[in-house]
Structure 1
Amino acid sequence: MDESQTSLDVKHLQHLLAKRDHKLFLTAFENMTPPPRDFLKALGGEGLCLLLNDAEVPRNDWSNQYAALLLNRSIVAPPEAISRLATHLNSRDLTDLARQIDKKRERVRTKGPVKPKSKPVSGSSEQAILQVRRVVQIMQMFLGDGQFSDASGICRSVFRSQQERTFLRALSFRFPGLLALPNYPLDQIVALDRVDTINAKTLRYGRNCRLDAVLVIPDEGDPVAIFELDSRFHDVPENAGRDAMKNSLIAATGLPFFRLRAESPDSMTVDEWYALLSDQVLPHLDLGGRVRCRKAAYRLIPC
């Protein structure tokens, strides 16, 4: 197994663990050839720990598959997890395995310190030589993106791509007096129940639609402009239909709406987005006409 293939296997298995898909995770381990390396064995043990922690009574089929992998030495796990699995399956073999691992761990703990030896030094008395054990920790790392980082926990980034992150930074730099918001809900700035020219399907879409970026006036919260980062993904007929619905909803607001498509989205820099915003966006924005005093609007209500 070459290094690139190993990295792909690790990515795939970690993705399955993040989704708690034990079925595909176990199938991948059972079909793995040649035998997994140490870090993959530890990853299999992590899957067992997640299975035991997520449910008080884990599924028997998955439990039996993990038990078979443990007994075949295809995965490694803490003795506490193996003992709990042994209790659940009433397995003597797993109990013996947990006891063996526990005894091995205890032998390492109870090893006494190495007595220092003495080595004569020319022209002086004996000098103590301290022997130490060398511990080496090996960790395999591979290049990933935000998706793999988000897979390690519940919270995730507000950006769904590197392009969104770079664009919002340029948007904030180009309009420092305004507030740039990423992935903002459409129904937060559009009163969908007041739009009479849309059908029920478009209305349902609008309630779940998000905008790639929105410029608003700080404190007042009035939207100034809406931005959508376009790509080849939007050329698919299904996505083109959703874009048409989004266009009709935003057209009802009268807000400036910009669809921006970069030839190489991942290679666009902040400076390049800044230049594009200056040349193509700024001339079409009327910032002064949108500023109003919310305090007066709240207190003075037409009769």
Structure 2
Amino acid sequence: MLHKKLLTSLLLVAGVTASLSVPAQAASTYYTTNPGIIRVKKTVIYYKNAARTQKIKAIKKGHYAKISKVVTTGKHPVLKTNTGKYVTANKAFVAKTAGYQNPKKYYQVNYTQIKPYGKVGYTVKRHYEGIKTWKIMRRLGTANGYNQYNQATYNAVKAFQRKHGLKVTGNVNQKTWVKLGFSKSSFKSIDSYVAPLGAHAWNGRSAHIEAMIHQAYKYLGKPYLVGSSSKPIYGTDCSGLVMQALYAGGINPAPISAIHHAYPGNEWNSRNLWASKKFQHVAYRNRQRGDLVFYYQPGTHTIWHVALYLGHNKVIESWPPRIMVQPIKNGQRSNIAGIARVFH
């Protein structure tokens, strides 16, 4: 009799425990506090209202969203996005995340403004290139269609310095720059330009690709200028254009940088980008919008050009005489070394 009563008691306790565990488990399957940023694990529906009676569209796996708050007025909590849409709070469908990011072995995506890498306000010397060299050569009348600080420019700078009582070095520091008629602030602002970030942590892969392309289009029609990678009011060369596009997408390929791009020998940063192991190299047939297209020089087979793939066999590139949209292969350059993927 005692054993029977004990058994009955145990069964009752077990039943109570089981009944309590069901709602506890159910509650744990939903976010009840703001997760901040979510990534969609399975296809979900975006709704216009918290009651989820007005559908907007289906959102596929891999989508990211910023959540403004958790709404608990209905049977189950729902998440309100920063764009005013509503989505399930069910953890089986959405996961809390720090935001969109590349796998660790590739370049990591920055979500704070990328800083200039190198000396801001560098002195311009022989064999330097870039925007400051271009401006100096035009001012002194030594421009020859190739903005490299040549011997003629060096001699012209020395003559200018003698005439204006400056220390005669043949190099252009800030004092000589200002005496040439340029603003003091521009001596550093030209160097320090890094394209602003064009995508957030709660934006997915597509938004980062579009940020790159949007930045590249800001230079459309500007002149091809060797060793240049600065503000959209100026021109660039091929890798200078790509670097600013990368910055806008949140990618910092340091020690390859916009500043160092003007230094002697760094005009071939297309080669350094190609050699980087922090990009994934994919087959040409698998190219996608936002990939980098690298070309080699006929005969030498060395990398000499890089462009940003737009899709539909088009690229945006800086190629003499200017930044333009062109077919991926044309009569000027068609020898493709390979494709590098920026975002995953």
Q: Which has the higher contact order (CA 8 A, sep 6+)?
A: 2
Question: TM (normalized to structure 1)?
Answer: 0.18
| More helix, by proportion | 1
Whichever of the two has the greater Rg, that structure is 1
Structure with greater proportional strand content: 2
With normalisation by structure 2, the TM-score equals 0.16
